[in-house]
Amino acid sequence: MNRRSSAAALLAAALSFAVVGCSSDDTSTSEAGASTASAVPPTLVIDGQPQKLGSDDVECRDILGPLTVSAGYTSTPDGAITMDGFMVRLSDSPEPVVESVLLPKNADGFVPSYDELSGGPAPTVVRDGSQYTVEGSTGMIAQRADTVKKFTATFVCPED
């Protein structure tokens, strides 16, 4: 799978989320292994600059293995998902490994991302109970792979 098809698969996964998530003062479990919670709003810093996310919503899904987290997304009145949040996919293991990351699109319309299949140094993940901190660098989807964005994403998922 090449970089574009990996990124396209990640983007499709991002768009498959219902993004009804939860508010920062709500904790619940929903259908098909999806759990939603956020006692602490998610944060995202790119190249040292804190990012304004579309919402404080976090949705964590662990269907059939890897944990997929969608944080900060909003939707338009017609139901379209805006690209103002981030997604992280972590391996299903006691010591999680970052499989992919999708950050908000930038002013040029490009979407910074990381995918384990496209090589490069993998972001690191630190888990402290239900809080995760993911740090690393991404390339860019769409012929700008030489552009690298350093990021730190923090989010809370409910404990099992």
Cα–Cα distances in angstroms (integers) from residue 117 to residues 4, 100, 120, in the given order:
11, 9, 9
CA 133 vs. chain centroid, Å, equals 11
Tell me the average pLDDT across 14-29: 38
Provide CB contacts within 8 A for 1, sequence distance 6+: 9, 117
For residue 160, the model assigns a pLDDT of 53
Cα angle 34, 37, 43 (rounded to 5 degrees) comes to: 115
Span 95-149, pLDDT tens digits? 889 999 988 877 666 778 888 887 778 899 999 888 999 999 886 554 555 567 8
Domain hosting 29: range is 3-156
pTM check: above 0.85: no
Strands 124-128 and 98-102: unpaired
Span 56-77, pLDDT tens digits? 888 888 877 788 998 988 878 8
The per-residue pLDDT of the chain, averaged, comes to 73
> How many distinct structural domains can be found in the chain?
1
